[in-house]
Amino acid sequence: MDVISVIRTKRDRGELSPEQIDWVIDAYTRGVVADEQMSALAMAILLNGMNRAEIKRWTAAMIASGERMNFDSLSRPTADKHSTGGVGDKITLPLAPLVAACGAAVPQLSGRGLGHTGGTLDKLESIPGWRALLSNEEMLHVLDTTGAVICAAGDGLAPADKKLYALRDVTGTVEAIPLIASSIMSKKIAEGTGSLVLDVKVGTGAFMKNIEDARELASTMVALGTDSGVKTIALLTDMSTPLGLTAGNALEIRESVEVLAGGGPSDVVELTLALAREMLDAAGIKDADPAKALADGSAMDVWRRMIAAQGGDPDAALPVAREQHVVTAPESGVLTRLDAYGVGVGAWRLGAGRARKEDPVQAGAGIEMHAKPGDTVTAGQPLMTLHTDTPEKFEYALASLEGTFDIAPAGTAFSATPIVMDRIA
């Protein structure tokens, strides 16, 4: 077997054999195949695609590059959720303890933010003492004792994907749907969850800008999960407008705690409950009511135990940025658009995100929104408050917010896009 023949096969629109796929993934993980050779293959896959058999084998080969976790010792069925990323997407934070409060075990392996999309681990690390890095034994202990754990994936889980993901990020091949699907699903299948709900974002603030591409990605991932014996469902959800009223690490933690306390923005509550119901159904738990678990405080109890089990103090004050800048409405009327991508870039430029994986983030940085599409606003009213420790970032962030919102004359009819746009099973 040699890498040149593998590249040529896909370059010439051929189908890679199982043996070719197994060999190239293993050889790349071991360093036998060079980065420039794998980048050529990734580009050929981006341009020419893969069929279902190829994607399935590619995913299996990435799983086989590392360890597989097992939760058979738990007394509860396991259910996990994955989001393809967005702006203000804090759903994992209230969702994991909520589903655990209803009887499932939630092993949530999460990531960090890159660019305009926020990362769950960055948000949680704004809680004093909280630890993202757990050993497999620690992860299992937290899951067994609290019902939910949110942590970073260990180095032993699908190491081929970790190496290939970094390469795709710098070679313009991130958009290849077969590689996106296999990247996500190799980690989730190796994680060992019994069921999985995918939140595939659609819109300006999402990776998938149109519903056709999102549906293709969702269908591919559902097929991969199903073929591997993991009950998998996908919801296509709107990301043209930021979720909730905050985008930023500590800001989103505060908003998530509000949801767990029975309040919070209606869109965050709606999507959290929709995903919770899907996760519980997939896990075979039919008689639990997640809305009741939010209202009676049981989800909050799990949150507090989960945070404490990972070294965090659920009662500690969260970081607050040293500087603020208010953006006001230039005229009166109805706010008809608030672009998720512009808000996400603004929060990133304020210090809430990173351009490279090794960059630090500011815990208190981000954007607080005071109105959402459909709201009536008056001239001079605060629309957004920008938060950062470094005021020289305001000008750069404000540039990204130019053209981000539209205000129509008072009385203009407004029709919101449904948060859940489609379901694929």
Decide if 255 contacts 92 (C-beta within 8 A): no
Angle at 41 between CA 36 and CA 42, to 5 degrees: 95
According to DSSP, the residues that pair with 377 across neighbouring strands are: 333
Q: Whole-angstrom Cα distance, residue 277 to residue 167?
A: 36
The number of beta carbons lying within 10 Å of the beta carbon of residue 70 is 11
Spatial contact of 284 and 77, defined as CB atoms under 8 Å apart: yes
Residues catalogued as catalytic: 82, 161, 168, 183, 187
At residue 345, what are phi and psi to the nearest 5 degrees? -65, -40
Scan for tokens 């933010």, then name that residue. Answer: 113
Chain position carrying tokens 């996106």: 180
Which residue, 99, 80, 92, 90, is CA-closest to 302?
99
The vertex-264 CA angle with 258 and 269, nearest 5°, equals 115
Q: Rg of the chain over CA atoms, in angstroms?
A: 22
